[in-house]
Amino acid sequence: MRLFNVLILLTVLGSSLFYVKHQVHMVEEDLQSLQSELIETKESILVLKAEWSYLNRPERLEALNHKYLNMAEPTTTQIADIKLLPYLPGTSSDKELEKLYTSISYKIVGAGY
């Protein structure tokens, strides 16, 4: 009887070991496919970044501007202070508008404009 219990235990342990080994193999295959997909995605991102840089060259954009838009560079008379923009009276308090103008001015100056 004792030998029979040992054989059953060994059979159950062997089956469990085979099952775990099979599951590990499946997970490793999934990991390998995900890693190769990640590498392909990173390569695609690099290609897209290179294309974006190529398409956004200033001389290319300037040529497209002249070809399709005919826009000229802004003159100094077209540039004004944001405080000169009109607003509707009664929509906001003067203090709120002053805060808005100040925050926008700081953002514009901070951005290098």
Q: Are residues 69 and 90 in the same domain?
A: no
Which residues, including other chains, have CB under 8 Å from residue 83's CB and lie 6 or more apart? Answer: 101
Q: Are residues 2 and 23 in the same domain?
A: yes
DSSP letter (8 states) at residue 12: H
pLDDT, one tens digit per residue, over 28-76 is: 999 999 999 999 999 999 999 999 999 999 999 999 998 999 888 878 7
Across residues 86-97, what is the average pLDDT? 63
Which residues, including other chains, have CB under 8 Å from residue 54's CB and lie 6 or more apart? Answer: 60
Q: Are residues 35 and 86 in the same domain?
A: no
Q: Are residues 57 and 83 in the same domain?
A: no
**Number of domains forming the structure of the chain:** 2
Regarding pTM above 0.75, the answer is no
In which band, very low, low, confident or very high, does the pLDDT at 107 lie, cut at 50, 70 and 90? low
What residue numbers bound the domain in which 98 lies?
A: 76-113
Token couple for 59: 């001389």
Q: Are residues 54 and 84 in the same domain?
A: no
